[in-house]
Amino acid sequence: MNYLFILRSFILGLSGILLTSSSVNAALFSFSPKGQQLDGDAILDIVLNPGDTITFTTSVDTTGLPGNIGLFSYSLVFDNSELELIDIKLDVENKFTSTRPIGPGLPNFPEHSGASIEPGTTFDLDIFTFRALDTINDGVADVELALSVAAESNIVEDYTNMFPFPEDCDLALGLECNQKVEVQPTIEPTTTFGLLALSIFGTASTVLKNKKTRSD
């Protein structure tokens, strides 16, 4: 181990610490549940069979912003072939004095205004309940969140881009998303059995092939 290696390890370690601390001390717009990785497609997944209901809560963390939030608007986009929106509760912690209504026939584009929320505040914003229709597992988002504006009341101080947008949206094409998730049905036992049978068959044929190669 030479000095250059030690120095490089030290710098890498230090940048790791800095990265971790900057990602912790940052604003965040998110929803929960966020899902988990259940299959081979990159998006996080939630198992939801037809008729099941699920409730998503959007939350805001204003950590690290240089000023107060007075106006907050975003799009919650969902795949209406897999999900039906059945209930909406807006501004559940009464942080804002004005909230534009949304619902059937209106765009899912909540806008909250008339507040002065200080940096370092974490709160739940809106709650959406869906009923599952015919869910499919295609690796494409079924619920996604895209912040439109996070600004002071005068809108001049705009902090929208201080919130991370790590994902390309699937449904709101061309936009970047703060978060997205897929809903999908339980894997059919027959499919599992089929895969298992395939893998046993695959292993058996490999063994046979190896045996044949050795006997040749």
DSSP 3-state assignment of 147?
strand
Which CB, 99 or 135, lies closer to Ca ion? Answer: 135
Among 31, 45, 150, 167, binds Ca ion (CB under 5 A): 45
Among 121, 129, 137, 153, binds Ca ion (CB under 5 A): 137
DSSP class of residue 187 equals P
Binding footprint of Ca ion, residue count (CB under 5 A): 9
Other Cβ atoms less than 10 A from the Cβ of 93: the count is: 11
Which CB, 64 or 139, lies closer to Ca ion? Answer: 139
Helix H or strand E segment including 46: strand 45-47
- Does residue 129 contact residue 143 with C-beta atoms inside 8 Å? no
The radius of gyration of the chain's CA atoms, rounded to the nearest angstrom, is: 23
Query: Of the ranges 20-28, 36-44, 113-121, 172-180, which one interacts with Ca ion (CB under 5 A)?
Result: 36-44
Which CB, 142 or 152, lies closer to Ca ion? Answer: 142
Among 41, 52, 111, 158, binds Ca ion (CB under 5 A): 41
> Could you say whether residue 39 binds Ca ion (CB under 5 A)?
yes
Strand-by-strand arrangement of the 143-151 sheet: 45-47, 179-184, 143-151, 69-78, 111-117, 98-100
Catalog residues that contact Ca ion under the rule CB under 5 A: 39, 41, 43, 45, 136-137, 142, 182, 184
